């Protein structure tokens, strides 16, 4: 049935708006609501294909993108669950098909959301919990070989943490983020992330700060989980323009990953370590190589080539880049990438920034103070948690960045283009902001064709 067949039915956007109204007045951090709705749905979490569960602060989405690409190159059907989305909610749910995974269609999403809404019967439940329940229902009713499942927040009490026997668990690099929910130290946050580790289940651990690594290993030991630790059981690095991956099974000499940035070598290595840790599927070296060069994941050091920016960039000699990294660790990565670009071709670096008020914006800006020549703060449209444009300007100035503010993304771009200087222009600060950039400027990637 085509999306056109949904004419007259409630749209997914309308249903999602209704689901938002169910949000509890007081949030108690527990899995009780999630377990309750899953029971009412007939326990779809027990009917899923084998699950690879991924937690961490940075690199979750990229690591999943590499795993999906590798597994699909091996001919497997792959379900994927990620968050947040950039432009449309549909991006969060990908269903595995013969020709690769595709984002959920409007009609299937609306049906699933309406179904879980009816089953829930108006009971208080968070937006992420009820939409995750809908995703589990979809994954359980559509056959696939494997499900790549990303944690929403933390891990231990996250709505996705109801999988009893995953194929493998993954902890990507942990850093300070969401401290109001997860704790104010790296050790407390690592403890929450390590909550997805399960008894006797392989756990792949990416590069970590020492405090985080100790906590994760301690929790894995308590669960008798076989660990594959970066730097001990596997390693990956750049050598002579190639990516080298090495573990106890041997060495792989691989092409550079398709995703830009040195940090993507670590994310790709984490994906490979996970693929090699699981024992359900045999994945060839050729599939790994093909997966690395075909993986896609937008708004992570993404150069923009399409849409209205293209015409403007040709007139003004501006390079447009999009990066949704939003915490201090992501700022460090962005700093490294700006310096690499300048080493190849030195250009003034300008930034248009939209950021949430829940983030450590001052530390984020401090990491970039030597690399951004001018920053324009913008309030993220339709986002109540957005920092005000003037507040962004003030915080960036405090951190040492020459800053102004603008009333909109369009006005900020017009201001920079009026300077008539060749430059690099980065849209930075938040995935929500990145999504707004894509939405406003018709840079929406083909949701049913690419990640």
Stretch 176-186: mean pLDDT, rounded? Answer: 80
Predicted confidence at residue 441, as pLDDT, reads 65
Q: 3-294 sits in which CATH class? A: alpha beta
User: For residue 134, what pLDDT band results from cuts at 50, 70 and 90?
Assistant: very high
Q: With 80 as the cut, is the pLDDT of residue 99 above it?
A: no
Tokens of 360: 């450590």
Three-state SS at 113: helix
Q: Which of 61, 100, 105, 101 is nearest to 83 (CA)?
A: 61
Residue that the structure tokens 């301690």 belong to:
218
Stretch 108-122: mean pLDDT, rounded? Answer: 97
Three-state SS at 225: coil
Strand 51-55 relative to strand 146-150, pairing: parallel
Q: With 80 as the cut, is the pLDDT of residue 48 above it?
A: yes
Strand 302-303 relative to strand 318-322, pairing: antiparallel
The per-residue pLDDT of the chain, averaged, comes to 90
Which H or E run includes 428? strand 423-428
Note the pLDDT tens digit of each residue in 55-93.
999 999 999 999 999 999 999 999 999 999 998 999 999
**β-sheet bridge partners, residue 258:** none
User: What are phi and psi for residue 382, nearest 5 degrees?
Assistant: 60, 30
Tokens of 227: 């660990």
Give the whole-angstrom CA distance, residue 15 versus residue 33.
Answer: 19
Inter-residue contact 278 to 168 (CB < 8 Å): yes
Orientation of helix 328-344 relative to helix 361-368, angle to 10°: 20
- Name 107's Cβ contacts closer than 8 Å, sequence gap at least 6: 1, 2, 3, 5, 6, 9
Three-state SS at 229: strand
User: For residue 449, what pLDDT band results from cuts at 50, 70 and 90?
Assistant: very low
Note the pLDDT tens digit of each residue in 22-34.
988 666 778 999 9
DSSP 230: B
- Annotated domain spans of the chain: 3-294, 302-440
Give the whole-angstrom CA distance, residue 215 versus residue 186.
Answer: 9
Q: Which of 214, 218, 220 is nearest to 196 (CA)?
A: 220
Q: Which of 118, 192, 120 is nearest to 153 (CA)?
A: 192
What CATH number is given for 302-440 in this structure? Answer: 3.90.190.20
* Strand segments (E) across 89-132: 93-95, 102-103
Predicted confidence at residue 5, as pLDDT, reads 41
Q: Fold identical between 3-294 and 302-440?
A: no
* Strand segments (E) across 184-317: 203-205, 227-229, 234-239, 242-247, 250-254, 302-303
Note the pLDDT tens digit of each residue in 260-304.
888 899 999 999 999 999 999 999 999 999 999 999 998 888 888
Q: With 60 as the cut, is the pLDDT of residue 215 above it?
A: yes
The total of other beta-carbon atoms located within 10 Å of residue 419's CB is: 12
Give the whole-angstrom CA distance, residue 85 versus residue 299.
Answer: 11
């Amino acid at each position: 049935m085509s999306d056109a067949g949904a004419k007259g039915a409630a749209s997914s956007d309308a249903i999602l708006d209704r689901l938002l109204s169910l949000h509890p007045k007081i949030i108690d951090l527990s899995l009780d609501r999630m377990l309750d709705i899953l029971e009412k749905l007939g326990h779809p979490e027990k009917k899923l294909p084998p699950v690879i569960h991924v937690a961490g602060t940075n690199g979750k989405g990229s690591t999943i993108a590499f795993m999906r690409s590798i597994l699909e190159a091996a001919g497997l059907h792959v379900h994927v669950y990620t968050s947040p989305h950039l432009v449309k909610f549909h991006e969060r749910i990908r269903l595995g098909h013969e020709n690769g995974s595709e984002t959920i269609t409007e009609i299937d999403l609306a049906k699933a959301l309406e179904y879980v809404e009816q089953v829930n019967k108006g009971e208080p439940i968070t937006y992420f919990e009820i939409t995750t329940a809908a995703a589990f229902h979809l994954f359980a009713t559509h056959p696939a070989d494997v499900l790549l499942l990303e944690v929403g927040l933390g891990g231990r009490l996250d709505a996705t943490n109801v999988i009893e026997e995953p194929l493998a668990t993954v902890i990507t690099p942990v850093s300070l983020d969401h401290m109001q929910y997860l704790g104010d130290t790296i050790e407390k946050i690592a403890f929450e992330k390590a909550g997805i580790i399960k008894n006797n289940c392989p756990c792949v651990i990416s590069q970590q700060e020492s405090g985080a690594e100790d906590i994760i290993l301690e929790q894995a030991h308590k669960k008798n989980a076989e660990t594959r630790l970066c730097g001990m059981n596997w390693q990956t690095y750049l050598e002579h323009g190639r990516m080298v991956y090495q573990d106890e099974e041997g060495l792989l000499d691989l092409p550079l990953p398709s995703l830009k940035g040195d940090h993507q070598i670590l994310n790709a290595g984490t994906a490979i370590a996970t693929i090699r840790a699981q024992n359900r599927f045999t994945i060839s070296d050729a599939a790994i190589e093909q997966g690395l060069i075909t993986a896609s994941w937008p708004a992570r050091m993404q150069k923009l080539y399409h849409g209205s920016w293209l015409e403007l960039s040709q007139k003004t000699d501006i390079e447009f880049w999009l990066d949704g990294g939003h915490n201090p660790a992501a700022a460090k990565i962005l700093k490294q990438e700006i310096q690499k670009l300048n080493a190849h071709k030195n250009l003034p670096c300008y930034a248009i920034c939209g950021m949430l008020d829940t983030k450590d914006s001052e530390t984020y800006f401090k990491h970039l103070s030597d690399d951004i020549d001018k920053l324009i703060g913008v309030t993220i449209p339709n986002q109540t948690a957005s920092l005000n444009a003037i507040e962004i300007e003030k915080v960036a100035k405090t951190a040492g960045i020459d800053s102004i503010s603008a009333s909109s993304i369009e006005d900020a771009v017009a201001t920079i283009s009026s300077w008539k200087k060749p430059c690099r222009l980065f849209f930075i600060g938040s995935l929500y902001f990145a999504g707004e950039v894509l939405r406003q400027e018709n840079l929406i990637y083909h949701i049913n064709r690419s990640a």
